[in-house]
Amino acid sequence: MEIYWVLGIPLAGGLFLAAWGNRARAPELNALFSLATLAAAAALTMRIVAEGPIMVGDGWFFIDSFNVFLVALTAFVAFTTALFSRPYMRIEKDHGRLNDARLRLYHSSYQIFIGAMLLALTTNNMGILWVSMEAATLATVLLVSLYRTPASLEAAWKYFILCGVGIAQALFGTILLYFAAEKILGSGGTALLWTHLNGVKEQLEPTVLQLAFVFLLVGYGTKVGLAPLHNWLPDAHAEGPTPVSAVLSGLLLNVALYAVMRSKVLVDGALGNDMAGNLMMGFGLLSVVLAAFLIKRQTDVKRMFAYSSIEHMGLITFAFGMGGPVASFAGLLHMTMHSLTKSAIFFAVGHATQKAGTQAMDSIRGLIRTNPTIGWGLMLGTVAILGVPPFGVFASEFLMITTAMHEHPWATPFLLTALGVAFAAIFGKVQPMVFGETELPRLPHQPALAPVFVHLGLVLMLGLFIPPYLADWYRQAAALLGG
C-alpha cells in the first residue's frame, strides 16, 4: 500500500504545482510534497525492515533491502533539497535570473523527476525501469536549461542527446534480455519481471545475456557518468540551477547505477563468470583516474565537483565490480555517503556562487570572513568528500581499498594515485575560497544551510558509528547483489 503513496505523491505534486503556478507558497508546497513522499518512504522502509522483501500489485513492484535503501535515500535528499531550494530560488529570482513561469516549470518538473526516479527504483519490470529512467532525463532537460543562457542551453542539449543515445543502447539491451527471457518464461508481460528473471537466471542463454549486459552497461553507464561516456555530466551540473545539480549528482547517478546492478545480478547468474564484474571494474577505474586528473584543470567550482561525482561513481562501480560481501557493502555505504555529502557541498557552493555572482573559483574568496556558515559548510563538506576521517566517506573508501589490495592488487596504485591527486586538487582550490582575502560584501539574504549540516552530521555519524540494524541492512542488500 505504502508504495502507491510513494509513487503517487510526487506525481500528484507535479501536476498540482503545474496547475498552481508560482503563486505564493509554491516553494513551501514543493517542500511539503517532498516531506509527504519522505513520510511514505519511511513507512515503506519500516515495513520492509519488519517483513522482508515484498511484491505489490501483481508483481509489478518489488521492494527488497537493496532498493528500499535507495528509496529512503532518494526521498530524504529530495526533501532536504526542496528545503534548500526554497530560499535559494527566491534569491535567484531577486537577482533577476528567473521569472514566475520558469519557477512553475521548476517546481513541477522537480516533483515529476523525483517520482520518475522512485518508479525506476521500485518497479519490478526491466522495461518500465527503462521507461522511467528516460522519463527522469526528460523531466530534467528543461531544468538544466532553466536560466536560458547560451551555455545552459548547450549543456541541456548535450545532456538530452548523449543520454538519449545512451539510453537507446540500454533499450537494445532490454530487448535482448527479453529475447533471452521469452524463450523460458513465455512471451507477455511477465517475461521482463526481474523476480521471474532472477528465478530462471541460470537457464538464460549466456551469449545473448553477455551482449545484453554490454549494451545495458553502456546505456545506463552513460547516465551514471562513467568515463568515457561522461561528457554530458560536468556541463549539466555546472549550468543548471544548484538544487538541480544536487539532485542529479546525489540521486540520478545512483538510480542509474541501480539499474546496472539489477542487470548484473541476472547476467552473473546466467554466465557464471566474472565478465560483468570485470567490465564494471574497468569502467570504474577509468572514471576514477580520468576524473581525478581532470579535476586539476577546472576553474568553475560546480564543474569541479561534478568531476568529483564522476570519480566517486567510478569508485562505487569499481567496488560493485569486485563483488563479494565487503566490497558490495562498501559500495552501498559509499552510495549513501556520496549522496549526502555531495548534495551538501552543492548547497554550500550554491550560496557561495550567489554571493560572488560567478562560478569561477578565482573570484570566490574569503567565505569564512563574510559568511562563516557558508564557509564552514563548504570546508567541512570538502573535507568529508575527500575521505578524511572521521567522516563516513573514509570508512567506505577504506573498505574498498583494502578489498582491492587483497583481491586486485594491480588496481591499488591507480586508485591511490587518483585519490591523492583529487585530494590535492580539490583541497588546494577550496582552501583559498574559504580562507582567502575578500572585498565582497556579505550575502544580504539568509542562506538555507540547515540541510548542509544535517547531511554532514549524518555522514559524520555514519563514519563514527554505523547502528547495528543499519549495518545488517547493508549486509542484506550486499548479499542480494551476490556478495
Reduced to 3 states (helix: H, G, I; strand: E, B; else coil), residue 412 is helix
Residue 12's contacts (CB-CB under 8 Å, 6 or more residues apart) are 33
Interaction of residue 149 with another protein, rule CB under 8 A: yes
Q: How far is the CB of 211 from another protein (least distance, A)?
A: 7
When asked if residue 11 is in the footprint of another protein (CB under 8 A), the reply is no
Cell representation of residue 98: 528567473
CB of 28 to another protein, least distance (A): 27
The label of the residue with cell 549528482 reads: 249
Contact with another protein (CB under 8 A): which of 131, 424, 440, 458?
A: 131
Q: Which residues contact 27 (CB under 8 A, 6 or more apart)?
A: 82, 85, 86, 89, 90, 107
The residue assigned the cell 528509496 is 71
Three-state DSSP state, 193:
strand
Please identify, among the stretches 146-154, 336-344, 348-356, 379-387, the one whose residues bind another protein according to the rule CB under 8 A.
146-154
Q: State which residue, 36 or 209, has the beta carbon closest to another protein.
A: 209
Side-chain-side CA neighbours of 243 within 13 Å: the count stands at 32
The interface with another protein within residues 314-333 (CB under 8 A) comprises: none
Contact flags string 63-102 toward another protein, x per CB under 8 A: ----------------------------------------
Comparing CB distances to another protein, the nearer of 210 and 370 is 210
H or E stretch covering 54: strand 54-56
How distant, in Å, are the alpha carbons of 106, 232, 321, 335 from that of 66? 30, 28, 16, 12
Residue 192, interface with another protein (CB under 8 A)?
Answer: yes
Answer for which of 138, 265, 275, 458 binds another protein (CB under 8 A) is 138
Among 70, 98, 156, 434, binds another protein (CB under 8 A): 156
Residues in 297-316 that interact with another protein by CB under 8 A: 297
Q: Which is nearer to another protein, 232 or 376 (CB)?
A: 232
Q: Which of 189, 199, 228, 457 binds another protein (CB under 8 A)?
A: 189
What is the DSSP track for 58-98?
A: TTTEEE-HHHHHHHHHHHHHHHHHHHHHHHHHHHHHHTTS-
In the bound complex, what is the minimum distance in angstroms from residue 306's beta carbon to another protein?
A: 12
Which residues have a Cβ under 8 Å from the Cβ of 394 and sit 6 or more positions away?
Answer: 387, 388, 463
CB of 237 to another protein, least distance (A): 11
Measure the CA angle with vertex 22, ends 20 and 28; round to 5°. Answer: 85
Map grid coordinates 552473473 to a residue: 268
| Shortest distance (Å) from residue 198 CB to another protein | 17
Helix (H) or strand (E) holding 55, with range, is strand 54-56
Q: Which residues would be at the binding site for another protein (CB under 8 A)? A: 125, 127-128, 130-131, 134-135, 138, 141-142, 145, 148-151, 153-158, 160-161, 164-165, 168, 171-172, 174-176, 178-179, 182-183, 187-189, 191-192, 205, 207-208, 211, 235, 239, 294, 297
